[in-house]
Copies of this chain bind each other. A is one copy, B any other.
Amino acid sequence: MSAAADRRRDLIAAARQLIAEKGMAGFTLRAVAQAAGLHHATLLHYFPAKADLLHAVVEDLLQSLAAPLSGAAPVVIAQPQLRAIIAEFFDIRQRLHTDPAMFVVMSELQLHGRHDREVATQLSRLDEAWSRHLAHLLSEGVREGALRADLDVPAATEALMAETKGITMQAAAGGDLLALDRAIDVLAAQLEAYLRPS
């Protein structure tokens, strides 16, 4: 398409990779520009300020996360809602192999959001969408009798998100991917044992 859009994409990608590799401290206009093969003043032609580039990186990351993975859940479970929730874990497991850097960036941004209102807002949009999605699945499951009747849906939602972020963090910290795979299986099994109606 437009050469400018391409450049923007390149710059966002370079920034994203840089954050993944060097952390927010390494996210420098000069470094991004160099990685994208242009002068740092030229970068500001595409993104008028560093913050704009960062926000674009976050937006791009959110889109990556929103895009559904093609792979189906590799585990068959009787109840549909339960299955859908478990599938989220396997989705994460797959992304962990596809683009592990994404988890590092996600963690960096999460922390950075504490001091950047705009980033915080952007990320909270993701959190809320995800939270709504999970809560919906859970309450549907409860209503249909697929999940335990006395489930504290908001608390379970929060727990699911914490687990997700834990995986993200563990991955970001540079853990063993295979060990993490098996841990995700355990988390899924835990969930299954807990959610099943007695």
What sequence of 0s and 1s flags, for each residue 92-107 of chain A, a beta carbon within 8 Å of any chain B beta carbon? 0000000000001001
Residue A170 at the B interface, CB < 8 A? yes
Q: Does A159 contact B (CB under 8 A)?
A: yes
Q: Which of A113, A158, A162, A183 has the most CB of B within 10 A?
A: A162
Query: Which 8 A-B residue pairings sit nearest by Cβ, starting from the closest?
Result: A166-B166, A158-B183, A155-B182, A162-B166, A190-B194, A159-B186, A159-B183, A193-B193
In addition to A152-B186, A165-B170, 12 A-B residue pairs with Cβ atoms within 8 Å of each other are A23-B111, A25-B115, A26-B115, A120-B174, A123-B173, A158-B183, A159-B186, A161-B183, A162-B163, A165-B169, A190-B191, A193-B194
Q: Is the interface of A mostly helix, strand, loop or mixed?
A: helix
Decide if A158 touches B172 in the complex (CB within 8 Å).
Answer: no
A-B contact pairs, 27 of them (CB 8 A): A107-B107, A107-B111, A107-B169, A111-B111, A114-B172, A114-B174, A152-B185, A156-B183, A156-B186, A158-B179, A158-B180, A159-B187, A159-B190, A161-B183, A162-B163, A162-B167, A162-B183, A163-B163, A163-B166, A163-B187, A164-B166, A165-B165, A165-B166, A166-B168, A168-B169, A186-B194, A193-B193
Contacting residues of chain A (14-29) with chain B, CB-CB under 8 angstroms = 22-26
Output the least CB separation between A104 and chain B (Å): 7
Q: Chain A contact residues (Cβ within 8 angstroms of B): what range?
A: 35 or more
Q: What is the CB-to-nearest-CB distance from A95 to chain B, in angstroms, rounded to a whole number?
A: 15
**B183 close to A155 (CB less than 8 A):** yes
A126 to chain B, nearest CB (A): 11
